[in-house]
Structure 1
Amino acid sequence: MAARLARIVDRALSRLKFKQLRLLVAVGEHGNIQNAARQLNVSQPAATKMIKDLEVDFEVQLFHRTNRGVVPTPFGEALIRHGKLIFAQISNAAQELDDLNEGSSGRVIVGTLLAASSHLLPSAIEKVLKDRPKVAIKVVEGTNEVLMPALRTGEIDLVVGRLPTHRHRSELSQIKLFDESIVAITGPKHPLAGRQGLGFEALRPFGWILPPIETSLRRQLDQYFLKMGQYAPPVALESVSYLTNRTLLQSQDLIGLMPAQVAAQDIASEALVQIGWTVPFGAGPVGVSHRLHGQLSPAGEALLDALHEAASEM
C-alpha cells in the first residue's frame, strides 16, 4: 500500500500537468470529452489520451463511458474535486499577491448563514479591521447546500453559522462557538402579538414564512407539521431573505422562525414580536467550518480568532 502510494505521488509530481487537470474538470462539467476538448482548444484524440494518461498515472478508472458521454467514477469525482481545489488555491494566491501589491494586508472569503449574519460575523469583522484595516474581506451569504461545497473546493475560506448536523463533515473541521435557539416571531400588529402561553392550535389559522427546503430547520419544521396532523399552512412563503421576511411580517399576519440572535435587535426595538409559543425544535450549535487539511491565510486565521472572541462576548 505505501509503495503504491509513493509510486503514484512520484508520478503525479513529475508528470502531472495543469492542462490535464483543466481537461479533467471540464470533462466532469460537460459530461463529454469532445465538448471539453473544444473548450480547451485541443483535439478529441489528444484529450482522450490525456484522460488515459491520468488513469494510468493514478492507477484508477476516472470515467464510465456511456452512449450519452462519460460519467465520473468515485475516483474521478475525487480527483475533479481536488483539481478544483488546486485551481481555487492558485486563484486565491494570485488574488492575495495582487491585494498585497495594491497595499492590502491579505484577503479572506467567508460564507455566512442566517444565524451568524446579524451579530457574530459583523462583530468579528470589526475586530479584524481594527487590527488589519487594509485586509480584504468578502462575505458570501447562502445556505449550507451552497456554501459547504464551495468551502470544500477552496472558493470560500470559512463558513460561519449553524453547523450541519449530518452532511458535509467529511474533510472539514467544525468548531462550535455557542448554542442557538429558534424563536417564533410576528409583526407587532399580528393577532398573536403579546399573547403568552400559546399552544400550536392558536397558530393554525395563520400563514407562515418557511425556511428553504434544503435547510435542517425546514426539515424539522416539516416533520413537526406532519406530527401535528399533517398540518398545511393556509399561506406558505419560502424565503431566506431577512429584509424581505422582516417587511412581510410587519405588513401581513404571518408567522416566521428565526435564530434568537438574528431577531434580537428587532424584538428589542419592537419592530418584530416574539410570540409566546416555545418552538419545540431547531436548537443547535452555531460555529465555524474550514477545510480540515487546508491552511488558512494570515487574514483567515485573524478572522477565525476574531470569531472566537466575538462569540465569547455574546
Structure 2
Amino acid sequence: MASKLETRIKFRHLRAVLAVHAHGSVAAAARELCVSPPAVSKSLAEASDILGAELFRRNGRHPVTTEAGELLVRYGRQVLADLGDLEAELTLLAQGSTGSVTIGTSTHQAKSFIAEASERLKLEQPRILIRMQDLEPLDILPQLRDGRIELAFGDFHHVARVGDVDGLKLFDSETVLVTSRDHPALALSDPDWAALTGYAWALPPHSHMMRTAFEALWASEQVPAPTNVFESSSLLSIPLTFDKMQLIGPAPRELAEEWRRMGLVGILPQPVWLGMNPQGLLWSRDLPQSPAVRAYLSICRRMLAEDRARETAAP
C-alpha cells in the first residue's frame, strides 16, 4: 500500500522547499524556479500539510528550516539527485552504454586497488559508467542496503557482524604518522606519545573510527589527547594542509609512502598499533547485481588471485 508521501508529495513541493532553503527567501526561490512568489508559498503550505509539520519558521525577515524541513531537504536532494543519475544513465544507454556501477569508499588505503580495478574494467568494457563516492564509515551499510551504492570499500568485519552484507577481504589496515616536511618532530631521536601530542594534529572527526582508535590509544598510554587539532574528513587534503601548517596526523602506509616519495610529507618512526579492522570490498546480499557490478567484482577477484600467486611465488 502506497504511503501518503508517495501519493501526495510532488516534485514541485521538493523544488520549492529546496529553493527556499538554499536562497533564504520565497522571492529568491521564485526567481530561481521561474514561478511567482505566491506559487512557491502555496507549494510550501501544501508540503507542510502533507507532512503534518511546519517546514520553516520566521527569523526576522528570513525563513529558517525546522527539523522537519531539514529532513525533507536531505531526502529531497537525494530524490532529485537520483533522477539526475537516471537521466544521465538513460542518455548513456541511448549512446550505447552497457551499464553503470556506483562505488562508495570510506578508506583511502584501497586507492591503488580501486584505480587498477577501474582501469581494467574500462579497458574491457569502456562504455560502463563508473561512479565513485567518498563516504563516512557510518554511511556504508545504509547506502548499500538502499541501493544508493552497489559496492563499497570499507570495514571487512561488517561481513561477520551483519547478515545481509557479503564481501572480499583486501588487506589489513596499517597506519603511520605523517608530518609536514620540516616538522620539528622529525628531528627527535626517539619521540614518545607525550611529546607528540603536544604538537598540532590533523585528525578525522569524532564520528570516524580512526579518531576513536587514536583516543583509545592515548588513553591506554596515559597521555592527554592533542588540544591543538585541525579536523578534516578528507584524507586527500593532507598534503596541501601540511604544506601550509605544521601538523602531525595519521595516514595509511601505502598512501603515506607515496606522499613521501613525492616530497610532500615526512613519516615518523613512532609505531602505531590501532587495532583497526581489515578492509574489504562489500556488497548487499539482498539486492540484485547488474552485469556491470558482476564485471567489476570479477576483476577484483582476479586481482586478489594474482596477488596471492605472487606471494606464493616469492622466495
TM-score, length basis structure 1: 0.63
Give CA deviations for 1:232-280 in whole Å, capped at 9, x if unaligned: 49998977338838x97xxxx9865333454577899xx9998664423
| Contact 2:153–2:279, Cα closer than 8 Å, also in 1 | yes
1:39 to 32, 35, 39: 32
2:235 to 218, 231, 240: 240
Matched, 1:82 2:75: yes
Matched, 1:22 2:15: yes
- Alpha-carbon distance, 1:105 to partner: 2.3
Matched, 1:218 2:214: no
Q: Name the structure 1 match of 2:94.
A: 101
| Contact 2:171–2:278, Cα closer than 8 Å, also in 1 | yes
Q: 1:118 to 1:16 in 2, by over 3 A?
A: closer
Query: Counterparts in 2 of 1:36-185, with a 5 A limit?
Result: 36-56=29-49, 58-67=50-59, 68-74=62-68, 76-140=69-133, 142=134, 144=136, 157=149, 160-163=152-155, 177=169, 180-184=172-176
Q: Quote the Cα distance in structure 1 between the aligned partners of 2:292 and 2:235.
A: 28
| Contact 2:177–2:249, Cα closer than 8 Å, also in 1 | yes
Q: Quote the Cα distance in structure 2 between the aligned partners of 1:289 and 1:34.
A: 46
Give CA deviations for 1:36-65 in whole Å, capped at 9, x if unaligned: 233212222222222222333x35214142
- Alpha-carbon distance, 1:217 to partner: 1.9
| Contact 2:197–2:225, Cα closer than 8 Å, also in 1 | no
| Contact 1:158–1:290, Cα closer than 8 Å, also in 2 | yes
Matched, 1:8 2:4: yes
| Contact 2:213–2:274, Cα closer than 8 Å, also in 1 | yes
What are structure 1's unaligned runs of at least 5 residues?
166-171
Q: Quote the Cα distance in structure 2 between the aligned partners of 1:37 and 1:293.
A: 42
Q: Quote the Cα distance in structure 1 between the aligned partners of 2:265 and 2:51.
A: 60
Q: 1:208 to 1:109 in 2, by over 3 A?
A: farther
Matched, 1:229 2:223: yes
What are structure 2's unaligned runs of at least 5 residues?
158-163, 308-315
- Alignment-mate amino acid for residue 73 of structure 1: E
Q: 1:175 to 1:46 in 2, by over 3 A?
A: farther
| Contact 2:203–2:230, Cα closer than 8 Å, also in 1 | no
- Alpha-carbon distance, 1:283 to partner: 0.7
Q: Give the RMSD, CA atoms, in angstroms.
A: 5.2
The number of aligned residues is 288
Once the two structures are overlaid, the 10-residue window that deviates more, 115-124 or 90-99, is 115-124
- Alpha-carbon distance, 1:199 to partner: 7.6
